[in-house]
């Protein structure tokens, strides 16, 4: 019901390493409530693998999903640093500045940066 969107975690990324990520917009059909979430994992060889996992999960909750783009995340949990960079060939480049803002809500004590670098 209402408030279910709050139950969707804004960020689900691997705890360590460098991996692909996507920025996904959730929306109630017919407009209204929307939310952007970040998903990334080393298990995904391609960006669409992440989307193909997220999409059915969110459809079950009654959301339409749209991938806003992708890139890579370098997560260094020891130094508490996250770097967002790169792009997705299929989905284009996510707005990394938006991704950083979302990550900051979860990793409050991290240094989080982004760039348009490919590596």
pLDDT digits (tens, 9 = 90+) for 40-55: 999 999 999 999 999 9
Given a cut of 50, is residue 59 above it in pLDDT? yes
Would you give the DSSP letter of residue 77? T
Q: Which of 47, 49, 75, 96 is catalytic?
A: 47
Residue 5 sits at φ, ψ, to 5 deg, of -65, -35
Residue list, annotated binding site for substrate: 20
Residue 47 falls in the annotated catalytic set: yes
Rounded to the nearest integer, the mean pLDDT of the chain is 94
Q: 11-115 in CATH: which number?
A: 3.50.20.20
State pLDDT tens for residues 85-112: 999 999 999 999 999 999 999 999 999 9
117 burial level (CB within 10 Å; 0-12, 13-18, 19+): exposed
Instruction: Indicate the pTM of the whole model.
Output: 0.93
Domain boundaries, given as residue ranges, for the chain: 11-115
Task: Single out the residue of 102, 24, 10, 26 nearest to residue 60, CA to CA.
Answer: 26
Residue positions forming the annotated binding site: 20
């Amino acid at each position: 019901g209402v408030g279910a969107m709050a139950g969707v975690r804004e960020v689900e990324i691997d705890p360590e390493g460098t991996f692909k990520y996507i920025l996904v917009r959730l929306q109630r059909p017919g407009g209204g409530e929307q939310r952007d979430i970040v998903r990334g994992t080393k298990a995904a060889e391609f960006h669409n693998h992440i989307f193909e996992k997220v999409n059915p999960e969110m459809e079950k909750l009654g959301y339409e999903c749209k991938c806003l783009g992708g890139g890579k995340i370098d997560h260094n949990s020891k130094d508490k640093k996250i770097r967002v960079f790169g792009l997705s060939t299929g989905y284009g480049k996510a707005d990394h500045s938006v991704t950083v803002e979302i990550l900051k809500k979860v990793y409050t004590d991290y240094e989080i940066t982004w760039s348009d670098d490919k590596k």
